[in-house]
Amino acid sequence: MNLFLEPTPLPDVLLVRHEVFRDARGFFMEVYRRDLFGPLGLPAEFVQLNHSRSSRGVLRGLHFQWEPPMGKLMRVTAGRAFLVAVDLRKGSPSLGRWFGREHAADDPVQLWAPAGFARGFAVLSEEAEIQYLCTGTYNATGESGIRWDDPEIGIAWPLADPLVSDRDRRAQTLAAWLARPEADRFRFPEEPPA
């Protein structure tokens, strides 16, 4: 299997392209291979796989988890969606910057964003399914979110009037998150909290 990593404007956020074998029956691709991921600097081990299905216009995010720290390898397995990562790492030259890209099931490119990044997505097709491998197990007391429309971040979502959950609508701003003591868990370069 061939695996190709493509940098993005955000340090440590990568596009992961896999060799895809296609014929008249469909396609086959290896989504994850421990022996290949580690040597390329990707996590060699994931502990949770999440699967989300949403309708057109749904926007989920921006979510992150600090305890345990959670990186996510996201891919669209049905439909089309705009996947986003936002840098939350104190001391990072790209703190508060975002990267977003349209992903589609028929172009199976994955988006890797390590712990210290908030992630979200917006559905562009009638329905979309997003799956993401996680480096940490979910912990409701160690996770949070940033407002999807925080003007300090300024994400150019490709939706005029997205359908957002009450929880995501009430999420804190980036400035409010950075004022919390938990924000010290994400530092650039990665260093243990003081």
Instruction: Return phi, psi of residue 27, to 5°.
Output: -145, 165
Is 132 known to be catalytic? yes
Q: Which of 18, 32, 63, 103 is catalytic?
A: 63
Q: What is the DSSP string of 120-163?
A: EEEE-SSEEEEEEEESS---GGGEEEB-TT-TTT----S-SS-B
Query: Any residues with CB less than 8 A from the CB of 12 and at least 6 apart, and which?
Result: 113, 114, 116, 117
Asked if the peptide bond before residue 62 counts as cis, ω within 30 degrees of 0, the response is: yes
Is 32 known to be catalytic? no
Q: Which of 18, 32, 103, 132 is catalytic?
A: 132
Taking the CA of residue 10 as centre, how many other CA atoms within 13 Å lie in the half-sphere pointing to its CB?
Answer: 28
Q: How far apart are CA 98 and CA 9, in angstroms?
A: 9
Q: Which residues are catalytic?
A: 63, 132
